[in-house]
Amino acid sequence: MSLFKIQIKAGKPAVFDPSPLTVYVNDSVSWSNNDSVAHWPAPSAATPKAWLDYQIAPNYESNQVSFNPGNYTLNYICALHPQEKGQIIVVGGKKKKKGGFGGNTKKGAFGNTTR
């Protein structure tokens, strides 16, 4: 499980960085507002509360958001400034991790050669 932070950078329009961002099942995302005005990341202007209950004030960070399992791309906007756009790519499976020995262990305590 990882936590990703998207920076909201000031500009005309403001920029979501990184975008696109790739996340996996059980990962969380938060937005950090580095602008002097409030922003509200949402799937659309019509659904501002889909992820966050409130806009993000200047110099504040949002709560963490997680996404439903699956393989899909989420295009989002700032509900307060619809010209500001970002993208999150959700990957359905967990990242593959190797075991403690780099995935090179044999079965059984003695590699199935006990007598």
For residue 110, what pLDDT is reported? Answer: 56
**Could you give all domains of the chain from N- to C-terminal order, each with its CATH number?**
3-91 (2.60.40.420)
Q: CA–CA separation, 18 vs 20, rounded Å? A: 6
Q: Identity (one letter) of the amino acid at 81?
A: H
Q: CA–CA separation, 22 vs 31, rounded Å? A: 15
Sign, CA torsion 78/71/95/65: positive
3-state SS class at 115: coil
For residue 89, what pLDDT is reported? Answer: 97
For residue 76, what pLDDT is reported? Answer: 98
Is there a cis peptide before residue 13, judged by omega within 30 degrees of 0? yes
For residue 1, what pLDDT is reported? Answer: 84
pLDDT tens track of the chain, all 115 residues? 899 999 999 999 999 999 999 999 889 999 999 999 999 999 999 999 999 999 999 999 999 999 989 999 999 999 999 999 999 999 986 544 445 555 554 555 555 555 5
Concatenating the DSSP letter of every residue in 43-78 gives: S-TT-GGGT-SSPBPTT-BPPPB---SSSEEEEEEE
